[in-house]
Amino acid sequence: MLNASPVPRPTVVLATLPAFAEELFTPAHWQRLEAACDVPDRAPLTTFEEPRAAELLPRADILLTSWGCPPVDARVLVRAPRLRAIVHAAGTVKQHLDAACWERGLLVTAAAAANAVPVAEFTLAAILFANKRVLRLQRRYAETREFRWWAMEFPGLGNFRKLVGIVGASHVGRKVIELLQPFDLSVLLSDPFLTPAAAAALGAELVELDDLLRRADVVSLHAPALPETRHLIDRRRLQLLRDGATLINTARGWLIDHEALAAELLSGRIDAILDTTEPEVLPADSPLYDSPNVLLTPHIAGSMGRETQRMADLAIDEIERFVRGEPFRYGIRQDDLARIA
């Protein structure tokens, strides 16, 4: 990996979709970026084959990327001999960075920590609503249209001293645990890379996944999509969930066996709040759209609208660190790829 050292007036080249660049970067962001670097063209490259790429890539010290960036592979790197760093103003880098980037020794960073904030906020709201049985109560209220002693109809209603299970101490998982601290809730955490002491420092009890599923009132998934996490929550594990438990997925549909999940949900035994599914958009005839114990949202937990500007903040923070010769705060090494999203 290249050493971090001061780079006077490095040149930054953008690579993303124009719509994302317009959403990400406010005038204040451009002012910060251009105070630290040369930006020969604010219009991002959308492919590395377009004519502007032949002019811009040889000048690039930093490639500033975001959603929709084309793949950065060995062929692209040959055309960018000065390139020293890739700063991704979004979450995962796995979709667009080739192994050649690390073999070349490039410094890599991403804004996953910034993207984690709205996901964690969404998850916090989902957990609090789940324990108040909002999904079922709003449907029931619409049916009865009268006052009822709801705690009698829904035993255990409420958040006080409930158990929340967090699967994965990712950026999002850790942020969710942090946001849960002010509430009278206990947190169970399952993560194969964490020690009990490290989990306790976060404010959680480290347990095996099966134990977490048996005990938790609400289970929230924050594990990365890796070969070994494919259908991590399978039929057997779904059956471990307590009657009335809620399963929340703001990570990837990849993590759940959706055929088995549909069977559990249609039985009415458990509830689910699903921001990601497999496939990403369920078929139009999926019964989950109309199930009273299911809340489906269209992958909106992550950064959207104004929230994307938090990722731009982080990306420019990292560029300013690079210019000062400081290491990236959120640097990504090649061996990190086996355990991150």
pTM of this structure: 0.93
Amino acid in position 73: D
Length of the chain: 341
For the annotated catalytic residues, the residue numbers are 252, 278, 299
pLDDT tens digits for 192-217? 999 999 999 999 999 999 999 999 99
DSSP state of 337: G
pLDDT tens digits for 21-35? 999 999 999 999 999
Sheet holding 246-249, edge to edge: 205-206, 185-190, 162-167, 218-221, 246-249, 271-274, 294-296
Please tell me the predicted confidence (pLDDT) of residue 8. Answer: 76
What is the rounded distance in angstroms from the CA atom of residue 83 to the CA atom of residue 272?
Answer: 45
What is the rounded distance in angstroms from the CA atom of residue 212 to the CA atom of residue 189?
Answer: 7
Do 12-110+305-338 and 116-296 share a fold?
yes
Which residues, other chains included, contact 190 with Cβ-Cβ below 8 Å and sequence gap of 6+?
165, 166, 167, 168, 206, 207, 208, 209, 211, 212
pLDDT tens digits for 97-106? 999 999 999 9
pLDDT tens digits for 257-316? 999 999 999 999 999 999 999 999 999 999 999 999 999 999 999 999 999 999 999 999
**Can you give the residue ranges of every domain in the chain?**
12-110+305-338, 116-296
* CATH class of the domain comprising 12-110+305-338: alpha beta
> What percent of the residues of the chain are helix, what percent strand, and what percent coil, each to the nearest 5?
40, 15, 45
What is the rounded distance in angstroms from the CA atom of residue 295 to the CA atom of residue 273?
Answer: 5
What is the rounded distance in angstroms from the CA atom of residue 309 to the CA atom of residue 75?
Answer: 31
Does residue 2 surpass a pLDDT of 60?
no
- Long-range Cβ pairs for the range 204-207 (8 Å, 24+): 204/166, 204/177
Element (H, E) at 19: helix 18-24
**Angle subtended at Cα 341 by Cα 20 and Cα 289, rounded to the nearest 5 degrees:** 75
Does residue 3 surpass a pLDDT of 70?
no
**CATH architecture group of domain 116-296:** 3-Layer(aba) Sandwich (3.40)
Which residues, other chains included, contact 333 with Cβ-Cβ below 8 Å and sequence gap of 6+?
1, 102, 108
With bands split at pLDDT 50, 70 and 90, how would you rate the model's confidence at 7?
Answer: low
Element (H, E) at 15: strand 12-15
